Amino acid sequence: MTLHLAVALDGAGWHPAAWRAEGARPDRLFTLAYWADLAAEAERGLLDFVTFEDALGLQSTRLNEPDERLDQVRGRLDAVLIASAVAPLTSRIGLVPTTGTTHTEPFHVAIGIASLDHISGGRAGWRPQVSGRPDHAAHFGRRVLPPLDFSDRADPAFTRHVADLLGEAADAVEVVRRLWDSWEDDAEIRDVATGRFVDRDKLHYIDFRGAWFSVKGPSITPRPPQGQPLVTSLAHDRQPYEFAARASDVVYVTPRDREDASAIVEQVRAAEAATGRAGPPLKIFADLVVFLETGGAADRKARLDDLDGGEFASDAHIFTGTPEALARLLLSWREAGLDGFRLRPGELPRDLVAITRGLVPELRAAGAFRTAYDTGDLRGRLGLPRPANRYATAS
């Protein structure tokens, strides 16, 4: 059975000094050609999908405020728009942009991702992300958020704050999902005899009322081709696992090793049970940062660490080594119950090319990766059915 493989695209790669590496294209980061080339390379490798990071503030090494650093990549284009611009230049790869749930209107997200799904012919996904940063909140001036302090996760105030952010995010996803269903698939009828373009009995008010906002509906955009584009989220802890169990189709997790992977899979399944998840179980992808090379990957990372003035740390496991070794690691971790992996290339395009031209052939040789794209949309590629419309009455 094929392993699922995604790549997380961000800036010049996940190492903060990646933009200074040989072969990097730091002067091209804000052009369409840069992103189109990366997506095309991922598509050549027959990967499942690529994700695009985003945030409503400048990158920072500090948790709650901007830093003063001029020696790292700063600035990002809107992820939904990058994904959409890449869509007509690719044909099969899934496109999964990030948007915020804390400041962004769920209605705008719903129509943006639905539009991406129409434009890409059923290849859209979405990664909702909370933003707890007080400095980003000040960009909107509508609410004041307390600084986040991860040093005491047991602190009830911290737990409550996270619960609020995630609760609001879960409501945002619920609104988006209802809006996607607010048009039945066959709502457009173009009935000349009665002069009606749509059958309005097949358009539905969602009438969502929650603690943070209310949304009436229906969407202004017809139901996306996939019905429900793929919803994905990153999680490191019980609360976000439960958010994923409530809201997502795919969860990205960050095991340190094979054993940790088993433990996390267990926690995710427990979160599914605790939240009474209905429908298909979460697809669990492990995130890894990768520096791939036949000999010298560790040295390459060390040189980047030197340039950046400190050892690169990540929430995800950092792998340095050969494509063969990575293939072995993935196949081993997979036994823990993982459905796939989202690889974060340390350097772009270098480590992406090493994935598509080094890792993928290794996995294929092991019979663990596809040799051609199947037909069908992104959900179908992940083995997820096209969901029935929650508002359609069985007839």
Closest distance of CB 305 from another protein, Å: 14
> What is the chain's length?
395
User: Closest separation between CB of residue 381 and another protein, Å?
Assistant: 20
DSSP 206-265: --EE-SS-EE----SSPPPTTSSPEEEEE--SHHHHHHHHHH-SEEEE--SSHHHHHHHH
By the 10 Å C-beta count (0-12 exposed, 13-18 middle, 19+ buried), 374 is classed as exposed
Q: Are strands 49-52 and 94-100 parallel, antiparallel or unpaired?
A: parallel
Q: Which CB sits closer to another protein, 112 or 321?
A: 112
Q: Site map for another protein, 73-102, x if CB under 8 A?
A: xxxxxx-xxx-xxxxxx-------------
Q: Which is nearer to another protein, 76 or 342 (CB)?
A: 76
Q: Which stretch binds another protein (CB under 8 A): 112-120, 226-234, 238-246, 311-319?
A: 112-120
Q: Alpha carbon 355 to chain centroid distance? A: 18
Residue 319 DSSP label:
E
Q: State which of residues 40, 148, 163, 198 lies at the interface with another protein (CB under 8 A).
A: 198
Chain centroid to Cα 195, Å, comes to: 42
Strands (E), the chain: 4-9, 49-52, 94-100, 125-129, 188-191, 196-198, 208-209, 214-215, 230-234, 250-253, 283-292, 317-321, 340-345
Residue 112 within binding range of another protein, rule CB under 8 A? yes
One of 62, 108, 160, 256 touching another protein (CB under 8 A) = 108
Residue of 13, 94, 222, 227 that binds another protein (CB under 8 A): 222
CA dihedral for 57, 60, 64, 66, sign (positive or negative): negative
Given 144, 151, 156, 194, the residue binding another protein (CB under 8 A)? 194
Nearest to 346 by CA among 31, 9, 40: 9
Select from 215-223, 286-294, 329-337, 343-351 the region that touches another protein (CB under 8 A): 215-223
Segment 236 to 295, residues that bind another protein, using CB under 8 A? none
Are 125 and 230 in contact by the 8 Å Cβ rule? The answer is yes
* Near another protein in 10-29, by CB under 8 A: 19-21, 24, 26-27, 29
For another protein (CB under 8 A), the number of binding residues is 77
Query: Among residue numbers 285 through 314, which ones bind another protein (CB under 8 A)?
Result: 307
Shortest reach from residue 183's CB to another protein, in Å? 7
Over the window 139 to 178, marking each residue x when it contacts another protein by CB under 8 A and - when it does not, the resulting string is xxxx------------------------------------
**Calpha distance 97→39 (Å, rounded):** 13
Q: Which of 119, 270, 302, 331 binds another protein (CB under 8 A)?
A: 119
214 is an interface residue for another protein by CB under 8 A: yes
